[in-house]
């Protein structure tokens, strides 16, 4: 069984979501029953949700730092989402550098899109620029 993590926007519960069920129908919070916001198997997260998931996940966590005004970020989004559906070995998150500018600054994000892979709560790989879903999948398999 594959899984991902998502934080409920209503009750803030951390949910471990079965990926096959999430792809078949809407994923719901195990605590309050509200539909979880997943795009493919990607969760859009804020600073605290980001921290909770990278510290909890047994799998590598792949994070796309992006901005709505960034053309390459918008082109990369669908590829990132496609990779989330085709790669069960990782958890996929998106962080808006516009909404989380302090976090982006602390992490030294200087160009976007910027993909960072975390393992056991620590950064293990950083790649700037847009990639295809296949390129992203290859990065993940090499960690």
Question: Catalytic amino acids?
Answer: 70, 73
Q: Of the candidates 8, 119, 114, 16, which has an alpha carbon nearest to the alpha carbon of residue 61?
A: 119
Q: Of the candidates 138, 48, 43, which has an alpha carbon nearest to the alpha carbon of residue 92?
A: 43
Q: Of the candidates 126, 23, 115, which has an alpha carbon nearest to the alpha carbon of residue 76?
A: 115
Which residues fall within 8 angstroms of residue 108, CB to CB, at 6 or more apart? Answer: none
């Amino acid at each position: 069984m594959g899984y991902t993590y998502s934080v409920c926007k209503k009750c803030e519960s951390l949910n471990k979501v079965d990926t096959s069920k999430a792809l078949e129908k809407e994923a719901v919070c195990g605590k309050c029953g509200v539909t979880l916001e997943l795009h493919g198997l990607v969760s859009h997260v804020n600073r605290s949700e980001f921290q909770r998931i990278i510290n909890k996940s047994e799998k590598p966590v792949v994070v796309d730092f992006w901005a709505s005004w960034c053309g390459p970020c918008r082109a990369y989004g669908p590829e990132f989402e496609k990779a989330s559906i085709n790669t069960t070995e990782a958890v996929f998150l998106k962080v808006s550098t516009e909404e989380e500018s302090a976090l982006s600054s602390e992490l030294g994000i200087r160009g976007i899109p910027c993909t960072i892979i975390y393992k056991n709560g620590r950064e293990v790989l950083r790649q700037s620029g847009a990639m295809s879903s296949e390129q992203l999948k290859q990065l993940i398999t090499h960690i």
